[in-house]
Amino acid sequence: MSKMADLDITIQEMLLEGTDPAVIAKVLNVPMEWVEATMVSMEPESGDESFDAFDDAQALASAGWGTDEDYGHYEADF
């Protein structure tokens, strides 16, 4: 891994341990902006959550695997 990736992981670990961001910046001798950027990257995305409602067939279809109907299987067959 690169030094930057290692540093990012270290910052993440320290944040998860509850270390104050200002202390992290001082201990690691990095700009506070780097710690803040890592904090932002750790936040869950609040984007489109419509994918959470997919059932198995929809998930497979969206992955390019098709659905049961695509392969000649219908609900009545089961």
pLDDT at 39: 94
For the chain, how far is it from start to end, CA to CA, in angstroms? 50
Check whether residue 38 and residue 56 sit in a common domain: no
Check whether residue 19 and residue 33 sit in a common domain: yes
Number of folded domains that form the chain: 2
Check whether residue 37 and residue 5 sit in a common domain: yes
pLDDT at 38: 94
**Per-residue pLDDT tens listing for the chain (78 residues):** 788 889 999 999 999 999 999 999 999 999 999 999 999 999 887 665 555 555 666 666 666 666 666 666 666 655
Check whether residue 53 and residue 66 sit in a common domain: yes
Check whether residue 35 and residue 4 sit in a common domain: yes
Check whether residue 31 and residue 51 sit in a common domain: no
Global confidence as pTM = 0.56
Check whether residue 73 and residue 39 sit in a common domain: no
